């Protein structure tokens, strides 16, 4: 059975040594000093380790069941969800006007990593409700907000997002679910939605479905999609639950992983719903919550990598096989622990150096969201919009790879269910697919985000890298080990962007064929910037006489590993990008 | 439900256009003309598609069960195994002296790909018996060979390999299983073995276990390991089955994949066994069959990638989402098939270009084994020994990646069990682990194989690349698209080998820290050589007026894709290698 311990120290390092949370002029941040965030994260960690993690394998083994329309979540999930609710973890960053605690989103993100590491299936129930709350809060009427938000934030009701239909996922313009007006201003919703996480479950008293559907007069395509709120139980004027609505779970998907999360086929048979926001503007409402939802999925990639890594390290420190080639490390034992072997260390450092960089990247992203939401900082809003596809695509691709590497550390044990690592691999796989496949993320990056504000946002990113390098190149060690590789990688990224500009205008496929490589190239540069900043922070801490030299020196060594052994990948991605459309477009569809 | 069709045309291209099988001076090859191999592969394909593939999902869903010491394989497996037996597929390349058909090993390998694509769990039962036959044939006494080989080759008995124990896998020097001499010349074998594929099953009348154990006077470590043959049922002098031996299955492993294959805990409680070969020379017997066993696993990586790819292509050709950015490809439909999108093609071409190169690489490897075994060609023996860790490590790593890419092509459907792609991902994962983890392969390559014959073998490989380039650089297209990238990649490989020589002598960790990257670097160069050769063959075929221009042009375009977009990875691996030991060795074990 795998174990887990909350990486509070690493989170604290990022929040304070790197992001200087309480010194940042964002409302609410001033209260987030070291002691406060440590107390919050310690509590989240206790719940994650003590209650959620022990149910993780149970959830995988047992899965969810559907009987007579009722979905039963695995043994213990109901109680664990209640513990999340009672601990206030469902309302952490929610609007105080509706009963939330109003904390910064960065704290929701930090705590979210712990919950996702401990039990991803449970974390998804929580995450979907968070997204539905955000969408309703931004686009719902005052009446809708008063009706739904307090109960959802309190956690007695949950929320879902209903987008996909059997014939369309990515291309939502094709949806067929209909919304026909009733005399009383409500709508009758009819259609089938699939892959609805938590569409039905036994954790909450009511489920508030947000559903994309088409009005009778809707224009074709994505410009004709409207958003509706469709509660499982209709809500009476006094707020109590009324009749069962005509929405039901028609089946549960059997999946590779996240078995503890109910993935439902949802049938809407003239269910009563109410329009959220304006007619035909449903996609806009989706976009509102998209940055947060995609960042949360990025963190899932990191989170599953982290728990897999922890168990790989434990195995490598315990398992005795072979001898260190430079002389035994444990001559009194029949063999040395395998962590002495260079290739085992290479494997573990690939994991560790990614995870620590990814943690910084995702929490930085969360502070940009806070800045955008809490101070109306348009540049922060633009920057996070640019970075979101990189965060989602890169962190989930590499997070999955990390679980695979961790599994490899365990050899044959990694393939057995008993050791539990293989579950992390299966669970991590979905993060590359949902909330927009990573291919779609790369199109979003190259097709929309690169040109954001006439290219000013991506220029601001390059400027940020340049400025950091300039301000810090006086430190020779930092320059050689961190800034020089970062500069070189950033040049590759700029060259790729230039290539797209020059060649993409001639033929858009010249850009689109390289979109996936560009997303990864961007990921490395962002990770390199994070590592350079963390190295600067660790160097300062050591210079200032920090007592925990071991921690800061390990941070520097891990960063040097990433810069030396991973950053050179940017040249490869650039080389691929510069081959353009031809290699990709030559074959006819029938020649594959 | 996934489908599969046997890639006979591609296999034929490799066997004849590339490897010129029937013109090769290896005994048995002269009979292997196009018509003969096509007939063989068509028959193998029929069995794979008609009988094995339909049981693949059944095997995954049902798994194996253990009750009162009896293992039951999934519904239909027994009949399918009988079909393999009756079709002669268990004796294809076996020694005619013992009832085999004596065909070249390359045909066993080609047919093996089809069986592994169709049903990997079933293919493993077959493969283990093949390995046990090879070991017994090379090291068994005349009496042992006469007793076991005919029945094993006929397929009424199976074979297993018993190496791993709970506390040791890679480091076999630590094994504890004991072999104590009986008065009659047999031995009493006592100990526990784990992860024994097919250790117990209901497919065959008897199971012939080959077991590593230690004699009472055994020296410590791997030099004290002996090999024993331990049949499930003792064999009487007349060849009929006698008493049940004291060996039993103590449990079945629950695994991530290959559920249809019984992975057993085997308990030897004073079981009667007979020494195979000399005392304390058990490892030598293992090495005899290792090349074949590891090549077979390499082919599993390719095979699972192939079937996953085929289903990804089918999905991409059918699924309608979005429009081609350069103008609709199917204006009469609600959307275009997703194969019009550059990033979907990029994903599919990553798969296709790997698979076709890997098929050539593995079949070339098989011809080297034939040359070594059938003509006593020492250089072929040395070359395949050098290439085996590359084949096993690179093809299973990239084969697994290919299944993951294929799964991604399907989006959400790829994550559901219904579509069946996720099974290929789970099944492919084991190939990176068993028969020596890929980390161990990389150590074997750098630690043993590079220095083989004082480095002459690796020099012969470089010479082969150089000669091919020299002989073909008159063709300008071939030079630009294939030979130049191959030359550049080969230089990177040579530079890496030079680095190991120069720095590895100072500190072996300088070489070991780069072993995994070196294995991949070597893999790319070998794949580049295969693609360059295939491009030459396709160019010749077109020049000679081949009627199937579509096939050969697709071959060239696929090869150009690989050369342009994958070969540049060699520079990245070289850069990583040249960072040496320090980044990997700096952290203390406790700092991870």
pLDDT at position B170, please? 87
Nearest CA in chain A to B563: A583
* Average pLDDT of chain A to the nearest whole number: 97
**Cα separation, B27 vs B93, whole angstroms:** 13
Nearest CA in chain A to B403: A429
- How many C-beta atoms surround the C-beta of residue B586 within 10 A? 17
Cβ within 8 Å, pair B429-A404: yes
Residue B285 has pLDDT above 90, yes or no: no
pLDDT at position A181, please? 98
Query: 3-state DSSP call for residue B281?
Result: strand
Residues 313-332 of B with CB under 8 A from A: 313, 316-317, 320-322, 325-326, 329
Residue A442 has pLDDT above 90, yes or no: yes
Cβ within 8 Å, pair B408-A341: no
Using an 8 Å Cβ cutoff, are A122 and A82 in contact?
no
Distance of CA A29 to the CA centre of its chain: 22
Which has the closest alpha carbon to B59: B75, B71, B79, B40? B75
Residues 513-542 of A with CB under 8 A from B: 513, 515-516
pLDDT, tens digit, 9 for 90 and up, residues B390-441: 999 999 999 999 999 999 999 999 999 999 999 999 999 999 999 999 999 9
Chain B residues in contact with A326 (beta carbon < 8 A): 507-509
Q: CA of B76 to nearest chain A CA: how many angstroms apart? A: 23
Place of tokens 């969800």: A81
Distance of CA A508 to the CA centre of its chain: 29
Per DSSP, what are the bridge partners of residue B86? none
**Cα separation, A23 vs B509, whole angstroms:** 44
Q: Tell whether A119 is within 8 A of chain B (Cβ).
A: no
Chain A residues in contact with B255 (beta carbon < 8 A): 415-417, 422
**Cα separation, B286 vs B402, whole angstroms:** 30
Taking residues B255-272, report their average pLDDT: 98
Which has the closest alpha carbon to A4: A311, A408, A305? A311
**Cα separation, A269 vs A410, whole angstroms:** 50
Q: Count of H helices and E strands in chain B?
A: 21, 11
Name the catalytic one among A435, A471, A476, A553: A435
Q: CA of A433 to nearest chain B CA: how many angstroms apart? A: 6
* Residue A202, token pair as written in the block: 């036994």
Cβ within 8 Å, pair A429-B438: no
* Residue A498, token pair as written in the block: 């230039």
Residue B18 has pLDDT above 90, yes or no: yes
* Residue A194, token pair as written in the block: 């699939």
Cβ within 8 Å, pair A412-B426: no
pLDDT at position A449, please? 97
Residues 548-587 of B with CB under 8 A from A: 550, 553-554, 557-558, 560-561, 564-565, 568-569, 571-572, 575-576, 579, 581, 583-587
Residue B546 has pLDDT above 90, yes or no: yes
**Cα separation, A414 vs A423, whole angstroms:** 10
Q: How confident is the model at residue B199 (pLDDT cuts 50, 70, 90)?
A: very high
Using an 8 Å Cβ cutoff, are A456 and B431 in contact?
no
Chain A residues in contact with B579 (beta carbon < 8 A): 564-565
Q: What is the 3-state secondary structure (H, E, C) of B308-330?
A: HHHHHHHHHHHCECCCCCCCCCC
Angle CA A70–A71–A75, to nearest 5 = 130
**Cα separation, A445 vs A451, whole angstroms:** 9
Residue B29 has pLDDT above 90, yes or no: yes
**Cα separation, B285 vs B100, whole angstroms:** 21
Chain B residues in contact with A591 (beta carbon < 8 A): 550, 553-554, 557
pLDDT at position B300, please? 98
pLDDT at position B289, please? 84
> Per this entry, what is the length of chain B?
592
Residue B94 has pLDDT above 90, yes or no: yes
Greatest Cα-to-Cα distance within chain A, rounded to the nearest angstrom: 84
Chain A residues in contact with B322 (beta carbon < 8 A): 170-171
Q: Tell whether B457 is within 8 A of chain A (Cβ).
A: no
* Residue A161, token pair as written in the block: 């997002």
The two beta strands, B263-276 and B226-231, are antiparallel
pLDDT, tens digit, 9 for 90 and up, residues A510-559: 999 999 999 999 999 999 999 999 999 999 999 999 999 999 999 999 99
Residues 144-173 of B with CB under 8 A from A: 164, 167-171
pLDDT at position B214, please? 98
Percent of chain B with pLDDT over 90: 98
Is-catalytic flag, A154? no
Q: Tell whether B415 is within 8 A of chain A (Cβ).
A: yes
Q: What is the 3-state secondary structure (H, E, C) of A153-201?
A: HHCCEEEEEECCECCECCCHHHCCCEEEECCCCCEEEEEEEEEEECCCC
The two beta strands, B157-162 and A157-162, are unpaired
Per DSSP, what are the bridge partners of residue A231? A208
Using an 8 Å Cβ cutoff, are B210 and B288 in contact?
no
Chain A residues in contact with B342 (beta carbon < 8 A): 509, 512-513, 515, 581, 584-585
* Average pLDDT of chain B to the nearest whole number: 97
Place of tokens 């590592």: A531
* Residue B163, token pair as written in the block: 């190496």
Q: How confident is the model at residue A285 (pLDDT cuts 50, 70, 90)?
A: confident
For A574, what's the count of Cα atoms within 13 Å in the CB-facing half-sphere?
21
pLDDT, tens digit, 9 for 90 and up, residues B351-381: 999 999 999 999 999 999 999 999 999 999 9
Percent of chain A with pLDDT over 70: 100
B13: Cβ–Cβ under 8 A, 6 or more apart, which residues? B534, B537, B551, B555
Residue B306 has pLDDT above 90, yes or no: yes
- How many C-beta atoms surround the C-beta of residue B415 within 10 A? 26
Residue A286 has pLDDT above 90, yes or no: no
Nearest CA in chain B to A576: B565
Cβ within 8 Å, pair B433-A439: no
pLDDT at position B460, please? 98
pLDDT, tens digit, 9 for 90 and up, residues A18-58: 999 999 999 999 999 999 999 999 999 999 999 999 999 99
Taking residues A192-202, report their average pLDDT: 97
DSSP-H helix ranges across A209-260: none
State pTM to two decimals.
0.98
pLDDT at position A510, please? 97
pLDDT at position A1, please? 87
Residues 375-414 of B with CB under 8 A from A: 400, 404, 407-408, 411-412, 414
For A582, what's the count of Cα atoms within 13 Å in the CB-facing half-sphere?
10
Chain B residues in contact with A174 (beta carbon < 8 A): 320-321, 334-335
**Cα separation, A370 vs A359, whole angstroms:** 17
Q: What is the 3-state secondary structure (H, E, C) of A249-298?
A: EEEECCECCCCCCCEEEEEEEEEEEEEECCCCEHHHHHHHHHHHHHHHHH
**Cα separation, B407 vs B401, whole angstroms:** 10
Residue B125 has pLDDT above 90, yes or no: yes
Per DSSP, what are the bridge partners of residue B180? B188
pLDDT, tens digit, 9 for 90 and up, residues A121-146: 999 999 999 999 999 999 999 999 99
**Cα separation, B37 vs B92, whole angstroms:** 12
Using an 8 Å Cβ cutoff, are B102 and B28 in contact?
yes
> Per this entry, what is the length of chain A?
592
**Cα separation, B347 vs B402, whole angstroms:** 9
Taking residues A377-387, report their average pLDDT: 97
Using an 8 Å Cβ cutoff, are B541 and B552 in contact?
yes
B172: Cβ–Cβ under 8 A, 6 or more apart, which residues? B163, B212, B222, B225, B283
Chain A residues in contact with B404 (beta carbon < 8 A): 400, 429
pLDDT, tens digit, 9 for 90 and up, residues A76-127: 999 999 999 999 999 999 999 999 999 999 999 999 999 999 999 999 999 9
Q: How confident is the model at residue A284 (pLDDT cuts 50, 70, 90)?
A: confident
Look up residue B13 and give its DSSP letter.
Answer: I
Nearest CA in chain A to B326: A508
Q: How far is CA A529 from CA A228, A445, A468, A484, in A?
A: 41, 19, 8, 11
pLDDT at position A255, please? 98
Beta-strand runs (E) in B187-313? 187-197, 206-213, 226-231, 233-235, 241-244, 247-252, 263-276
Cβ within 8 Å, pair B425-A256: yes
Greatest Cα-to-Cα distance within chain B, rounded to the nearest angstrom: 84
pLDDT at position B2, please? 95
**Cα separation, A341 vs A335, whole angstroms:** 12
pLDDT, tens digit, 9 for 90 and up, residues A238-260: 999 999 999 999 999 999 999 99
Chain A residues in contact with B348 (beta carbon < 8 A): 592
Residue B288 has pLDDT above 90, yes or no: no
Residues of B with a known catalytic role: 435
The two beta strands, B206-213 and B157-162, are parallel
**Cα separation, A168 vs A189, whole angstroms:** 18
Cβ within 8 Å, pair A584-B316: no
For A342, which of B429, B572, B585 is closest by C-beta distance? B585
Residue A287 has pLDDT above 90, yes or no: no
């Amino acid at each position: 059975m795998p174990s887990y311990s909350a990486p509070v120290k690493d989170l604290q390092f990022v929040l304070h040594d790197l992001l200087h949370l309480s010194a940042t002029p964002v409302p609410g941040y001033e209260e987030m000093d070291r002691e406060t965030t440590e107390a919050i994260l310690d509590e989240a960690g206790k719940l994650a380790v003590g209650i959620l993690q022990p149910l993780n394998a149970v959830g995988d083994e047992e899965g969810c069941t559907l009987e007579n329309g009722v979905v039963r979540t695995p043994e213990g999930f109901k109680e664990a969800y209640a513990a999340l609710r009672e601990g206030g973890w469902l309302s952490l960053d929610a609007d105080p006007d509706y009963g939330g605690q109003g904390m910064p989103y960065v704290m929701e993100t930090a705590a979210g990593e712990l919950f996702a590491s401990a039990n991803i299936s449970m974390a998804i129930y929580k995450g979907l409700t968070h997204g539905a709350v955000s969408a309703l809060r931004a686009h719902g009427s005052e009446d809708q907000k008063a009706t739904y938000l307090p109960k959802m934030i309190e956690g007695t009701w949950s929320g879902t997002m209903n987008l996909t239909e059997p014939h369309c996922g990515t291309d939502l313009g094709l949806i067929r679910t209909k919304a026909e007006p009733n005399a009383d201003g409500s709508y009758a919703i009819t259609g089938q939605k699939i892959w609805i996480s938590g569409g039905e479950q036994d954790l909450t008293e009511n489920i508030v479905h947000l559903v994309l559907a088409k009005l009778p007069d809707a224009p074709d395509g994505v410009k004709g999609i409207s958003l509706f709120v469709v509660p499982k139980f209709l809500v009476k004027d006094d707020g109590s639950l009324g009749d069962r609505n005509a929405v039901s779970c028609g089946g549960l998907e059997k999946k590779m992983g996240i078995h503890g999360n109910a993935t439902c086929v949802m049938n809407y048979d003239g269910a009563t719903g109410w329009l959220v926001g304006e007619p035909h503007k449903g996609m806009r409402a989706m976009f509102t919550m998209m940055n947060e939802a995609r960042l949360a999925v990025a963190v899932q990639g990191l989170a599953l990598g982290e728990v897999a890594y922890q168990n790989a390290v434990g195995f490598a420190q315990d398992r005795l096989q072979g001898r260190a080639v430079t002389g035994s490390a444990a001559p009194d034992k029949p063999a040395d622990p395998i962590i002495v072997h260079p290739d085992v260390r290479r494997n573990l450092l690939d994991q560790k150096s990614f995870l620590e960089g990814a943690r910084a990247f995702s929490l930085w992203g969360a502070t940009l969201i806070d800045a955008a939401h809490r101070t109306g900082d348009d540049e922060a809003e633009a920057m996070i919009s640019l970075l979101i596809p990189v965060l989602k695509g890169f962190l989930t691709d590499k997070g999955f790879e990390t679980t695979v590497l961790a599994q490899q550390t365990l050899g044959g044990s990694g393939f057995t269910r008993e050791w539990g690592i293989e579950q992390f691999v299966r669970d991590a796989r979905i993060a590359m697919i949902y909330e927009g496949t990573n291919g779609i993320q790369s199109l979003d990056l190259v097709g929309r985000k690169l040109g954001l504000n006439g290219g000013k946002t991506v220029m601001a990113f390059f400027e940020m890298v340049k400025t950091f390098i300039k301000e810090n190149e006086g430190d020779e060690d930092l320059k050689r080990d961190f800034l020089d590789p970062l500069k070189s990688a950033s040049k590759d990224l700029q060259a790729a962007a230039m290539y797209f500009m020059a060649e993409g205008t001639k033929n858009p496929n010249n850009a689109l064929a390289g979109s996936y490589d560009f997303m990864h190239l961007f990921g490395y540069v962002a990770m390199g910037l994070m590592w350079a900043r963390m190295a600067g922070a660790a160097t300062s801490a050591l210079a200032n006489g920090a007592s925990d030299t071991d921690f800061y020196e390990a941070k520097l060594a891990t960063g040097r590993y990433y810069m030396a052994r991973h950053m050179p990948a940017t040249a490869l991605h650039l080389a691929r990008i510069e081959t353009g459309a031809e290699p990709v477009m030559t074959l006819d569809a029938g020649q594959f």
